[in-house]
Amino acid sequence: MTSSELSATLLKNPVISFESFCPLLFFVLVVRSSFSMAAPNDPENATLRPESLEKVFDLSDGKFAVRGVPLLSHVPENVTFSSFSSICEPRDAPPSILQRVIAESRKGGFLGFSHVSPSDRLINSLGSFSGRNFVSIFRFKTWWSTQWVGNSGLDIQMETQWVLMEVPETESYVVIIPIIEKSFRSALHPGSDDHVMICAESGSTQVRASSFGAIAYVHVAENPYNLMREAYSALRVHLNSFRLLEEKTVPRIVDKFGWCTWDAFYLTVNPVGVWHGLKDFSEGGVAPRFVVIDDGWQSVNFDDGDPNEDAKNLVLGGEQMTTRLHRFEEGDKFRKYQKGLLLGPDAPSFNPETIKELISKGIEAEHLGKQRDAAVSAGGSDLAEIELMIVKVRKEIDDLFGGKGKQSNESGGCCCKAPECGGMKDFTRDLRTEFKGLDDVYVWHALCGGWGGVRPGATHLDSKITPCKLSPSLDGTMQDLAVLKIVEGSIGLVHPHQANDLYDSMHSYLAQAGVTGVKIDVIHSLEYVCEEYGGRVEIAKAYYDGLSNSIYKNFNGSGIIASMQQCNDFFFLGTKQIALGRVGDDFWFQDPNGDPMGVFWLQGVHMIHCSYNSLWMGQIIQPDWDMFQSDHECAKFHAGSRAICGGPVYVSDSVGSHDFDLIKKLVFPDGTVPKCIYFPLPTRDCLFRNPLFDQKTVLKIWNFNKYGGVIGAFNCQGAGWDPKEKKFRGFPECYKPISCTVHVTEVEWDQKKEAAHMGKAEEYVVYLNQAEVLHFMTPNSEPLQLTIQPSTFEICNFAPVQKLDGNIKFVPIGLTNMFNSGGTIQELKYFEKGVKIKVKGGGRLLAYSTQSPKKFQLNGSDAAFEWLPDGKLTLNLPWIEENGGVSDLAIFF
């Protein structure tokens, strides 16, 4: 079979067996790439390329080398390396992915090791290194991961998910990714004397092994972004337990504006409050297209409470973490909603100040609880006084709710007492009746049902209170209230054999109640309770399969946001169906540990999480940068990043607390957003830097619009991870203005097929959105010099200049009143004497033109415009609702 015949065969088969084609395809592609020659009339490239058959990796004499350059030294004798093709097993994958993986397979391979005695947790050195820059991702909590940089094995953090090394000797990069083999999951840890340790653990003393042939994957490439795509594509084929983002359908919320109730209400969320919140946005001119009803809507209670009654008067996250789900249907707050209650003239009122006071009292109670714990530990004499203060604050909270066990109208309680109350179904129907553009209603739940799982005996499912056991690998992570509470209360674990039933029972009910998707949290609690169920890999497979099946059946295959999921177990086992997930920790409006500057520095930390996590997570899911509050001190800082995040934009504003002017720089009046067509990633000069506390690096992230590129420059300096304290803390000496350079060549144009041609332009116009100035740049120009103040940013739009007939230079920039100006250009067609443009949104359109147009038409009619000798061409565009906000422009020269 020739290579062309093989390609034809592949294209005829939507999914092809690896067993049949792997060996032949590998041979054909390697030989073809090795000995293909340029055409006779192309002498510049008329050479054979035998480098394709070179020995890329070599493990010998205690050294692991890539293309002759030692990467790891002092490699133990029990460590092995196997090429990708030698581990090749029968797998199924789409032909396009299979072809490119095999084409690049010589660039990757697997590390393994063996011990004499089997164990459920094995740790082994992979070798040592020093003096080599790396960027990595490690788990700083059970649920969350972030960036770390260094230059030796000693700098590696516990629970590292991958490490990407710079190899300047060959102008290339190498990534080492700990993976899953059989029932074991692995991570990298620091060792002594600069050694990198790999830890393989099953999570169950009943599941033991002594040797691994492919417990980590290694890949090399000349381009760091290609490297991550190639490596995770190879793992997709090898493991066949997850799918890449390109294989899946993303939920329709990805280009919409939404509202999440979490920071607005915490656990006090209720129908009346949600209604008034959506009404606020609608009246403010930015109606959300989706709402996420976060934690607080479910039927949960404590073990010592009435098994048929909901826990009452919960306020803050933490209070609910030992509760369990006792009913799949909504809790009383929503179950008692009466059809049409909020549609009529006598709709219940809502006082947002009551919610704010509840939250304030909840924070006070939380702080008192910490003081009590400290007093108990220290044997303090003021314990009795603290207890009295806690009782006093709890009574004040109960009074705000309308009394113990009750809920007042002011705090959002509904009044229906009749048995025919319609609950969630009637509530979602009324929402859609009133708010016509509301496409989606999502609700929150934990992976195990509730934070503490499902209450035994409360449902038809086989649930068992299962004590939590944490891996020693988590010792190096940050202390976390959620972990402490879950360990305290244990988990009511539904047997893994019933995972399908668990999710279908919840989701089928929600779907018929008008809910279109779910936000899943607390995902990695499974690793705490896997001892009796075959270990962490096997229990995860059962639960993730059940979840995937239910999402496919009940929520159109894509209606899910994954959260608290940033560990390789989830990405390698849980993402066959899930296409959207969080890439950062929660938005924190203040430092929970009391640092007053945390209100500022925590926001930069969030952006670092999201930017660097997207390097790997973005291969598998659409990155979700989470919500923020539009009236926060750093709201504009957040808004700038969300403008170019390429995903959904949503806020968590309290009712009545909004900055609509800011939101309107992100969102069109119809609730859609001018979305970038990719997800943002750090520029190359940031990859191995510390943009949080090195006092010199500005975070720069690149992305694409349909007709241009964009680089966002964000001053995130002022905080970061402290390995000794095992937490994030402020570095106030770093919170200062930082200078940087920006250049068009820092946009990685070749990373998306639709953008590649724009990287070949001879000249670009660069528009600085915040400074409101234009610059000109060529690929050979000097870079722009910027100075970014703390917690501020600049967004640079790069638009390729087009030459029209008569040597006229022209390029549209977009609407300057939007943060992502270039994202407002919907269509662009040049012709001999002019240009046609479709622009979405209302506001000031800016273009560059070396000549004044002879005629400018807006929606078929002549329009007045302004042209200045410096080339700025402007026109004010209206938002025309019946046109979907899209203006048709024709410009003639």
Q: What is the pLDDT of residues 136-167, one digit of tens each?
A: 999 999 999 999 999 999 999 999 999 999 99
Buried b / exposed e over 24-48, threshold 16 CB at 10 Å, is: ebbebbbeeeeeeeeeeeeeeeeee
The position carrying tokens 């109960």 is 398
Compute the average pLDDT of residues 248-268.
97
Mean pLDDT for 773-799 is 97
Angle, to 10 degrees, between the axis of helix 224-239 and the axis of helix 95-103? 120
Taking residues 318-345, what's their average pLDDT?
94
Per the model's pLDDT, the better-predicted residue between 572 and 417 turns out to be 572
Asked if residue 819 lies in contact with residue 639, where contact means CB atoms within 8 angstroms, the answer is: yes
Q: What is the pLDDT of residues 165-190, one digit of tens each?
A: 999 999 999 999 999 999 999 999 99
pTM across the whole model: 0.93
On the question of pLDDT at 51 being above 80, the answer is no
- pLDDT at residue 413 tops 70: no
Q: How confident is the model at residue 380 (pLDDT cuts 50, 70, 90)?
A: confident
Residue 539 has pLDDT above 70, yes or no: yes
Q: What is the pLDDT of residue 223?
A: 98
Give the per-residue pLDDT at 16.
42
* Residue 404: per-residue pLDDT: 67
Is the pLDDT assigned to residue 13 strictly greater than 50? no
For residues 519 and 650, what is the distance between their CA atoms, to the nearest angstrom? 14
pLDDT at residue number 875: 96
Given this model, what pLDDT does residue 806 score? Answer: 81
Q: How far is CA 65 from CA 54, 114, 131, in A?
A: 13, 20, 15
d(CA 347, CA 400) in angstroms, rounded, equals 20
Instruction: Report DSSP state, residue 718.
Output: S
Write the pLDDT tens digit of every residue in 36-50.
Answer: 333 333 333 332 233
The whole-number average pLDDT for the span 570-583 is 98
Give the span between the Cα atoms of 253 and 671, in whole angstroms: 10
Q: Residue 281's closest CA among 250, 256, 252? A: 256
**Three-state secondary structure call for residue 769:** coil
Check pLDDT > 70 for residue 21.
Answer: no
98-102, 196-200, 570-574, 839-843, range with the lowest pLDDT: 98-102
Overall average pLDDT of the 99-106 stretch: 93
Mean per-residue pLDDT for 559-576? 97
Q: What's the pLDDT tens digit per position in 851-882? A: 999 999 999 999 999 999 999 999 999 999 99
Residue 40's pLDDT is 32
Mean pLDDT of the chain: 92
Contacts of 424 (CB under 8 A, 6+ apart): 297, 329, 330, 334, 335, 337, 510, 513, 514, 515
The reported pLDDT for the residue numbered 422 is 83
Question: Smallest Cα–Cα separation from 529: which of 165, 878, 204?
Answer: 204
Q: Which residues of 218-235 are buried (b: 16+ CB within 10 A; e: fewer)?
A: bbbbebbbbbbbbbbbbb
Residue 407 has pLDDT above 60, yes or no: no
Chain segment 284-298, per-residue pLDDT in tens: 999 999 999 999 999
How high is the pLDDT of residue 369? 86
Looking at 55-142, which runs of residues are DSSP E strands?
57-60, 63-66, 69-72, 79-83, 92-93, 108-119, 121-128, 130-139
Query: What is residue 29's predicted lDDT score, i.e. its pLDDT?
Result: 42
| Lowest-pLDDT range of 90-99, 292-301, 555-564, 669-678 | 90-99
236 pLDDT more than 50? yes
Determine the average pLDDT of the residues in 459-481: 94
| Beta carbons of 779 and 745 less than 8 angstroms apart | yes
Three-class SS state of 458: coil
Q: What is the mean pLDDT of residues 341-369?
A: 92
pLDDT at res. 378: 83
Tokens (6 digits) for 723: 């390995």
pLDDT at 887 over 50: yes
How large is the average pLDDT for residues 206-214?
A: 98
Model confidence over 211-225: pLDDT tens digits?
A: 999 999 999 999 999
Q: Is the pLDDT of residue 762 over 70?
A: yes
Confidence of residue 321 (pLDDT cuts 50, 70, 90): very high
**Count of residues for the chain?**
893
Q: Is the pLDDT of residue 101 over 70?
A: yes
